[in-house]
Amino acid sequence: MKFGKIDANIVGLILLFAIISCLFIYSSSSVFNQYSGAFIWKQLIFYLIGIALMYLISRMDLSQLKKIAWPFYWVVIFLLVVLIFAPESIARPINEAKCWYQIPFIGTFQPSEFLKFALILVVSLSITEHHRKWQSQTIGSDLWLLLKIAGITLPPMLIVYKQPDTGMIMLYAALLIAMILFSGIHKSILFILTIIPSVMVTALIIIYINYQRFFNNQILGKLSSHQISRINGWLKPFEYGDSSFQTRKGILAIGSGLKTGKGYLGNDVYIPEKHTDFIFAAIAEEMGFVGGAAIVILFFLLIYRIVMITIHADQHLTTLMGVGIIGLLAFQIFQNIGMTMGLLPVTGVTLPFLSYGGSSLLSNFMLLGIVLVIKNSYDGYMFKTRYGEDSYEFKN
C-alpha cells in the first residue's frame, strides 16, 4: 500500500500507537494524581511534530540525506559537549544524570536521543565510502574500517556514558552491532567480535556467582551510585527493596492484570513514572495478557514492515541504514518490556511510540523517515538494475 512518499502500512501502525499511547499516558498519569502536567496534550503535539518530521525526511532523496549526515552529527556532538558545562538552570541533573536541557514552556530536550539518527547516517556512509575506496578487501582493510567506526562512535558514546546514561549506550551498541554484521567485513573478524563479548559476559556471570566481594568492589564499584542501585535492584530485588521498587511494582502490575485486565482506568498499582518507561506495565495491568500480547504483535508488524523494506533495498548504503534501525528498535522494545517484567535491569529506555517523551518520540519518527527514504529510493525508478551504485559483492 502506498500514499505518495508515505507507506500506508507504517502510517496505520503509527496511528494505532498514537491512540494507545495517549489513552494509557492519560490513564497512568491521572489515576493516582501524580502529576499536574497535561501529558496527553503534550504527547499529541509531539506526535504531530514527529509525523511532520517523518514526512519531511521522506521527501529527501539519498543525496540530500548524505549531505545532512555529517553536519547533523557535529551539531549533536556540540550539544552533548555543551551539556557537560551547562549550568543547572538550563541543564538540571535528574536522578544523578545530566542528560537534558530544560526549555521553558516546552519541557526537556535530550540530545543523546538524536545521536541515534546521526550514527545510522554517518556510520553507513563511512562503511560504503570505505568499500568504494578499498575495492580489494583484506583483513587489514576491514580492521581499518572498524577503527574508523570506533573513531566516529566512541567519543560521543563516552560523553553519553559519563552523563551517565547506560541505557542509551546499549541502544547505540545494538544499532552498531547490526550494521557491522552487514558491513561485509571478513567472517573471521566477525567471529572474534562475537567471541569477545560472549567471553566477557560469561566471565561476569562466573565472577558474580563465585566472587561476590570482587564483583561488588571492582566491577559495580566503578559505576555511579544510581547505576549500582539499579543493578542491585535487578539482581537482588528482595534484599534491595528501595532500589527494586519499580521492578517489583512492574511485576505486580503485569501479573495482576491476568488474562483480560482490570479495565481501562482500573489500574491500582502505583509505579513512579508509569507513563514513561513503565507504560507497558500500565497496559498489561488494565488490558491483561491479551492487551500486552496485542502490543507485542503491533511492534512485530512494524519491525516486519521495516525488514521487508530493507530486504528490497538495492544499495549497500540503504541496507546498512535499514538494519541499523531494525537492530535499534528491536533491542529497545525487548529491553523495555523485559525490564518491566523484571527480566532485565531498569535502564530508563522508553517503549518506542508509546512512552511519554518528546525527544524519544521525535528521534524515532526521524528513523522512520529514513525507512521511507530507503523505500522511495527503489520505488522511485521505472528502470533499475538489481544492484545500485553503492552495492558491493563481498568475498569472505
Confidence tier at 308 by pLDDT (50, 70, 90): very high
Residue 392 lies in a domain: no
User: Within its chain, how far is the Cα of 41 from the centroid?
Assistant: 24
Pairing of strands 101-103, 107-109: antiparallel
Residue 277 lies in a domain: yes
Residue 301 lies in a domain: yes
Residue 206 lies in a domain: yes
Residue 367: what pLDDT?
97
Structural domain that includes position 361: 2-379
Q: Is there a contact between 247 and 224 (Cβ–Cβ < 8 Å)?
A: no
- State mean pLDDT over 246-251: 89
Pairing of strands 6-7, 107-109: unpaired
Number of domains in the chain: 1
The amino acid present at 311, given as its one-letter code, is I
Residue 394 lies in a domain: no
Range with the lowest mean pLDDT among 25-39, 175-189, 325-339, 353-367? 25-39
**pLDDT reading at 215 higher than 70:** yes
**All cell numbers assigned to 166:** 547506560
Residue 386 lies in a domain: no
Residue 387 lies in a domain: no
Residue scoring higher pLDDT (327 or 270): 327
Cβ neighbours of residue 310 under 8 Å, at least 6 residues apart? Answer: 318, 319, 322, 323, 326, 371, 374
Confidence tier at 193 by pLDDT (50, 70, 90): confident
Exposed / middle / buried, residue 14 (Cβ in 10 Å: 0-12, 13-18, 19+)? buried
Q: Is there a contact between 145 and 183 (Cβ–Cβ < 8 Å)?
A: yes
- State mean pLDDT over 65-75: 96
User: Which sign does the torsion angle of CA 204, 346, 330, 316 carry?
Assistant: negative
- For residues 234 and 240, give the distance between their C-alpha atoms in angstroms, rounded to a whole number: 9
Helix (H) or strand (E) holding 103: strand 101-103
What proportion of the chain, given as a percentage, has pLDDT over 70? 92
Mean pLDDT of the chain: 88
Q: Collapse the DSSP code of 356 into the 3-class scheme (helix H, G, I; strand E, B; otherwise coil) and give the result.
A: coil
Residue 390 lies in a domain: no
Q: Is there a contact between 328 and 178 (Cβ–Cβ < 8 Å)?
A: yes
Q: What is the pLDDT of residues 11-21, one digit of tens each?
A: 999 999 999 99
Confidence tier at 136 by pLDDT (50, 70, 90): confident
